[in-house]
């Protein structure tokens, strides 16, 4: 009968709907740390010739808030799988030095399975391993420095929950595939010759030059460098001949970088040095031009103010003193009447700080006063 056929189809539709809702509920109930990678990300791995459980390598750049996940290809080299936006990192460019300085670390860190936190209050997270051997050799302090979700940072690298989840799952699958630890290399900025020139006057430059050495090894080999510490400095891809490295002691005399790698890294650094010098010269030239224009503009402003005051009449003229500024020091100029940061308050011109003349050349001439009766009486000769 038509009616019974309709109800039969309706029952089947409701049954399929119930099964679908049950499956969805089961999927939603999957603990977040056990969720599978998105199909789109898996497809990209296949396109890049990467096994889903191949090793991973991470590096980040504060200045541009970028967080890169690299993955090993089937030929053994690493390819960039995805770049995530860092939602928040705290502090400024430069390494973390002590507990409570709210600085996000910079340097070379290693993450092992025990550092993964599936029960994080900030969605999912892993501890980067600060302080490492280098930090300890320099007595740097801090703990629980994480990469996590929730977009909130007090010394950590914070991501959105979606990004933190993907990064966690990628690391989880790499551990399942047999990777015993993965490297997290944290940089202040992309370690290009141009950026090194841009930040050449920063007091952290010696530290950053050491970080660039590690970055150069990766750029040459497209494999994460093997990082060691001796003599309180990082060393990369070294062969010690069996001697152990001690972070606080001198590096072994037998320590060597393989000849082919040493030559390739030095060739890259030689080219970078040429770019660095050219960029630094250009930036210095631009800085001098800006400083020269600033001094000229300051003189023009002072002349303009004095001219306007003179045009208003001699009685309205009041000398205006601008900050004394040495040529080539544009930072000392006040902007819109407010001194630049860390600069002293403006002082009067030394010329106008000399003793005032007896008369004011711009003051109106005194008007002669007629003698009063009392004045005449005082001057009267006695009789």
User: What are the catalytic residues?
Assistant: 148, 156
List, in order, residues 6 or more apart from 64 with CB less than 8 Å away. 189, 190
- What's the CA gap between 185 and 60, in Å, rounded? 7
- Bridge partners, residue 295, by sequence: none
Question: How long, in residues, is the chain?
Answer: 383
- What's the CA gap between 55 and 263, in Å, rounded? 27
- What are the CA-CA distances from residue 261 to residues 79, 163, 266, 303, 306 (Å)? 20, 35, 8, 62, 66
The single residue listed with the structure tokens 């690299």 is 70
Q: With residue 133 as reference, give the H or E element that holds it.
A: helix 133-137
- What are the CA-CA distances from residue 37 to residues 40, 41, 53, 147, 165 (Å)? 8, 7, 11, 18, 9
Q: In what order do the strands lie in the sheet with 157-158?
A: 88-89, 157-158, 146-148, 125-127, 116-117
Question: What six digits make up the tokens of 190?
Answer: 């992309």
Helix (H, G, I), strand (E, B) or coil at 164: helix
| Angle, vertex CA 146, rays to CA 48 and CA 220, nearest 5 | 40
Question: What six digits make up the tokens of 226?
Answer: 């093997």
| Helix ranges, 177-258 (H) | 193-198, 205-221
CA 7 to chain centroid, in Å, comes to 66
- Bridge partners, residue 229, by sequence: 234
Q: How does DSSP assign 339-373, residue by residue? A: PPTTPPPP---GGGGSPPPSS-TTSPPPPPPPPPH
- What's the CA gap between 198 and 283, in Å, rounded? 8
Q: Please say whether the beta carbons of 88 and 2 come within 8 A.
A: no
Question: What six digits make up the tokens of 233?
Answer: 């400095």
């Amino acid at each position: 009968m038509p009616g019974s056929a309709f109800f039969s189809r309706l029952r089947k539709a409701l049954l399929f709907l119930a099964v679908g809702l049950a499956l969805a509920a089961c999927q939603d109930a999957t603990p977040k740390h056990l969720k599978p990678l998105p199909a789109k990300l898996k497809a990209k791995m296949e396109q890049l010739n990467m096994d889903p459980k191949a090793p991973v390598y991470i590096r980040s750049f504060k200045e541009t808030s970028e967080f890169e996940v690299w993955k090993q290809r089937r030929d053994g080299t690493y390819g960039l799988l995805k770049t995530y936006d860092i939602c928040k990192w705290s502090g400024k460019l430069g390494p973390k030095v002590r507990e409570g300085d709210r600085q996000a670390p910079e340097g070379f860190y290693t993450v092992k399975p025990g550092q993964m936190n599936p029960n994080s209050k900030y969605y999912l997270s892993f501890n980067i391993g600060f302080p490492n051997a280098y930090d300890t050799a320099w007595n740097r302090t801090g703990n629980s420095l994480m990469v996590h979700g929730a977009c909130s940072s007090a010394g950590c690298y914070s991501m959105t929950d979606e990004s933190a989840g993907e990064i966690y799952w990628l690391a989880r699958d790499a551990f399942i595939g047999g990777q015993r630890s993965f490297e997290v290399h944290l940089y202040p900025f992309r370690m290009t010759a141009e950026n090194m020139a841009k930040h050449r006057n920063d007091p952290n430059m010696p530290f950053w030059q050491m970080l660039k050495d590690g970055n150069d090894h990766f750029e040459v080999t497209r494999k994460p460098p093997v990082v060691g510490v001796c003599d309180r400095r990082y060393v990369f891809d070294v062969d010690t001949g069996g001697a152990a490295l001690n972070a606080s002691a001198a590096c072994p005399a037998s320590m060597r970088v393989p000849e082919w790698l040493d030559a390739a890294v030095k060739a890259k650094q030689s080219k970078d040095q040429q770019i660095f010098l050219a960029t630094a010269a250009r930036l210095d030239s631009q800085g001098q031009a800006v400083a020269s224009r600033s001094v000229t503009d300051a003189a023009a402003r002072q002349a303009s103010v004095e001219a306007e005051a003179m045009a208003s009449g001699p009685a309205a003229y009041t000398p205006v003193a601008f900050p004394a500024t040495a040529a080539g020091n544009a930072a000392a100029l006040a902007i819109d009447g407010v001194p630049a940061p860390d600069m002293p308050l403006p002082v009067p011109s030394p010329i106008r700080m000399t003793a005032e003349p007896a008369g004011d050349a711009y003051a109106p001439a005194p008007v002669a006063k007629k003698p009063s009766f009392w004045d005449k009486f005082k001057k009267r000769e006695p009789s």
